[in-house]
Amino acid sequence: MKNTVIIILFAMSLLSSCTIRQDYNQQLLKADSLMQFRPDNALNILKRISPKKLSTRADNAYYALLLTQAQDKNFVVQKDDSLIQIAVHYYDSIGDTKMQAKAHYYWGCVYRDMNQQAEAIREFLIAAPLTEKVKEKRQLGLIYNNIGYIYNIQDFNQKADSIYRLMEVIAKELRDTTLWSEALSRQASIDLMKGENYFPIAEQKLLDAFVTMEKIKNDGLKANISASLSNLYSRMNQGEKALHYAKLNFSLRKDTVWPYQTFLLLGDAYYKLKQYDSATFYLNKSLLGKDYGRKSDVYMRLADIAMIQGNTTLSIELERNSSAYKDSLYQLRRNPVAKRIIEVEADVQTILQKLYYKGRLQMYLYSFILITIIIIAISLYLYKRYQRKNNLLKKDKQQLEKINQDLSQHHANLQTDITQKGMEIEKLRKELASHQVNEEQRKKLQAELDKIVLKRKTLAKEAFLHSPIYEKMQAIIKDFQDKDASDKELSDQEWQEFVAEMDMEWNNAITELCVKYQLSKEELHLVCLSLVGFPFSHLEYLLHLSRATLYRKKNLLLKRIDTNLNCEFEEILQKIR
């Protein structure tokens, strides 16, 4: 009797477990069926499922894939790829091509959200042939859209254009007007970058896409097309059309609080129509965004407006701001992503072959051996790379020490040459002062003196450019550019040496200027630094004064010297000398 009761209880438990699992499978299938047209409902169903109660790898993989897909379709930004990896690893191991394609595609979407573009394009390039094999054309169109987008932002415009053309073909086959309009608008954006000869082509594509989107409720895509049309007509100097589409773009945007690119389009359109007050208003609003490229364009447009309105000083200042943001944008874009993408493209075929064979391996022993070999290879590679890097560092250190020694010797030789030239100059001056020299000899000696003075000036300049002081100045500037601060600072002794070297280069003209106009220490340093040729934006790092203060001090000094404000210190010293 007791044994019978135990058997019945075990059977009931087993039946209950199977029923629960079957219930979870049904919920996963239901979520999948709602994914295309009701992704919000699908996400709610999946959130109610506890992954801890999914007993098999298959269920866990299916759940991980569906949840990642649902979050992507509901525009939830995903910052962790651990969930989708469960699905990828499982479907790769069993070789289910259809699910592999889907898993790799959504892994690419997660990487896209994480702004890991090289990794994202790797997964999309893996997913593309798998998707093509199972003839999932709509998913293939979405994959091409993502690949084209990454190529575009990384300036692989030719590749992006080819991908968008493939996307257009798929859209036509599916009769998917949204996908077709997006393909056309993306191609037009690339055509727009090619120059004026391609403007008519870009215009036709954008207008075709816009007409198609008029019949469909997709405000986001319609807004993007309107923005592209506004940009195109602005470049074509058709201000009325540019303003029309800029306003339409603004009205279609859901986020109307800080649409910085939209403000730029409006400002540019008003500028083309010569409505400078409205243009300035919207351009200034677009400056609140963080995009360096947009800030550079806005400052340049504002500089044009200031110049048109006769404010030359403001125009110059705005142009400097534009240049500064261009420099920042260049530094920002100096990243290894583009190089990494090229490497990824070369590796994709190898990865696809590995996936193909991996799905057909039935014995875990093979996998274990392969993983062990890979670990050993990576370890050896890392060890060898470490050794190679260490050797390179030692070699670089030795070369740097030799370079420093050579520079020190070169600087010492230059100083000797400068001293020698100084003695020659003094000798010639004494001969010129002598009453025993006739006029012809005086002219000859004066020409020789001018030649030696010029030679000493050249040597003095070269000596300064190889001096420890100049090297320290460059290090301070670089520190401020990299981290807005520097632990280095020029001492009073170094400032005195710097002024002395500059005075020697300018044949004592700086001393005469200082005595004549009673220059303060800051004014003297400002004059000398300006003569070196540093950009004005770098002087604030060395003098610890704001750019505005430096401009004010320079203008006041020029006014005191009674010199035209457009004049430079070099011209003043030339007159004195």
Q: What is the DSSP string of 115-128?
A: T-HHHHHHHHHHHH
> In angstroms, how far is CA 118 from the centroid of its own chain?
14
What's 51's DSSP letter? G
Closest CA relative to residue 58, chosen from 102, 20, 89: 89
Instruction: Report if residue 543 sits inside a domain.
Output: yes
Instruction: Report if residue 497 sits inside a domain.
Output: yes
Closest CA relative to residue 35, chosen from 80, 85, 78, 70: 70
Q: What span, in angstroms and rounded, lies between the C-alpha atoms of 264 and 329?
A: 18
**Token digits of residue 281:** 């208003």
Instruction: Report if residue 242 sits inside a domain.
Output: no
Closest CA relative to residue 245, chosen from 260, 232, 227, 268: 227
Positive/negative CA dihedral, 111, 219, 287, 300? positive
Domain tally, the chain: 1
Q: How far is CA 158 from CA 163, 165, 191, in A?
A: 9, 11, 10
Residues 313-352 pLDDT 10s:
888 888 888 888 776 666 655 556 778 888 888 888 888 7
Contacts of 75 (CB under 8 A, 6+ apart): none
**Token digits of residue 457:** 């000036």
Q: What span, in angstroms and rounded, lies between the C-alpha atoms of 472 and 470?
A: 5
At residue 371's C-alpha, the angle toward residues 369 and 377, to 5°, is: 100
The whole domain housing 573 covers 486-577
Measure CA of the first residue to CA of the last residue in the chain; give whole Å.
Answer: 122
Residues 13-37 pLDDT 10s:
443 444 334 444 788 989 999 988 8
Instruction: Report if residue 476 sits inside a domain.
Output: no
Q: How many CA atoms lie within 13 A of 284 on its CB side?
A: 8
Query: How many Cβ atoms are within 10 Å of 428's Cβ, its own excluded?
Result: 18
Place of tokens 């379709």: 73
Contact between residue 177 and residue 212 where contact means Cβ atoms under 8 Å apart = yes
Q: How many CA atoms lie within 13 A of 208 on its CB side?
A: 18
Q: What span, in angstroms and rounded, lies between the C-alpha atoms of 118 and 443?
A: 71
Can you tell me whether residue 48 is helix, strand or coil? coil
Contact between residue 28 and residue 59 where contact means Cβ atoms under 8 Å apart = yes
What's 56's DSSP letter? S
Using alpha carbons only, how large is the chain's radius of gyration in Å?
Answer: 35
**Token digits of residue 73:** 């379709």
Instruction: Report if residue 297 sits inside a domain.
Output: no
Q: What span, in angstroms and rounded, lies between the C-alpha atoms of 198 and 376?
A: 54
How deeply is 273 buried, as exposed, middle or buried, from its count of CB atoms within 10 A (0-12, 13-18, 19+)?
middle
Instruction: Report if residue 558 sits inside a domain.
Output: yes
Contact between residue 251 and residue 284 where contact means Cβ atoms under 8 Å apart = no
Q: What span, in angstroms and rounded, lies between the C-alpha atoms of 316 and 313?
A: 5
Closest CA relative to residue 291, chosen from 335, 333, 245, 233: 333
Instruction: Report if residue 10 sits inside a domain.
Output: no
pLDDT in tens, the chain (577 residues): 445 444 444 444 443 444 334 444 788 989 999 988 899 999 999 998 888 878 889 999 999 999 999 999 998 999 999 999 999 999 988 888 899 999 999 999 999 999 898 899 999 999 999 999 999 999 999 999 999 999 988 888 899 899 999 999 999 999 988 888 888 889 988 888 888 898 899 889 888 888 888 777 778 888 888 888 888 888 888 989 888 888 888 888 776 555 788 888 888 888 888 898 888 888 888 888 777 777 888 888 888 888 888 888 888 888 888 888 776 666 655 556 778 888 888 888 888 777 766 655 544 555 677 788 888 888 888 888 888 888 877 776 666 566 556 555 655 665 566 666 556 665 655 655 665 556 666 566 667 666 766 776 677 777 777 788 888 888 888 888 888 888 888 888 888 888 888 887 777 878 888 888 888 888 888 888 888 878 878 888 888 888 888 888 888 888 887 666 567 777 777 666 5
| Helical H segments across 466-520, by residue range | 468-483, 492-505, 509-517
Instruction: Report if residue 96 sits inside a domain.
Output: no
What local confidence, expressed as pLDDT, does residue 569 receive? 75
Contact between residue 93 and residue 359 where contact means Cβ atoms under 8 Å apart = yes
Contact between residue 236 and residue 272 where contact means Cβ atoms under 8 Å apart = no
